[in-house]
Amino acid sequence: MTTDPDSVPSVDDGIRSVLHSGKEKTLDCLERWEECIRKNPKEAVLGAVAVGCLLHRLPVRSILVANVKLVSALAPPALLAYGAAKLCEILQKKSARPVVVIPPDANPREY
């Protein structure tokens, strides 16, 4: 079974589609929040004050430092996986070249 190398989605296309769907979901969620805030402004203000008090009590700096450490630890394996996927994609495109089959009784000077 052979597949057309142009019809196979690339790694970049997959990443773009995931990012695009994430962006769409985020915008939909933001629109729902805005609608909820427009319907109930008093509750939104009280919720904002409560969240502000909570954030004031939390150790935000240590949470951010932990997130930066986590991202810096996970970045090299993610980049390695991305590079390996791109290498496989390139090798698959190179191996999908058309193969010319010459019949055994043909004259080799014609080819």
Output the pLDDT for position 76.
94
Residues 47 and 72 in one domain: no
State residue 92's pLDDT score.
Answer: 85
* Interatomic CA distance for residues 39 and 55, integer angstroms: 25
Same domain, 46 and 65: no
Domain shared by 53 and 65, yes or no: no
Domain membership of residue 40 as a residue range: 11-58
- Mean pLDDT in runs of 10 for the chain (111 residues)? 58 88 96 94 95 89 94 94 90 75 69 55
- Give yes or no for a contact between 8 and 83, defined as CB atoms under 8 angstroms apart: no
Residues 47 and 68 in one domain: no
Q: Are residues 16 and 54 in the same domain?
A: yes
In a domain, 76, yes or no: yes
Residues 33 and 15 in one domain: yes
* Number of domains making up the chain: 2
Buried b (16+ CB within 10 A) or exposed e, 17-55: eeeeeeeeeeeeeeeeeeeeeeeeeeeeeeeeeeeeeee
- pLDDT value of residue 7: 61
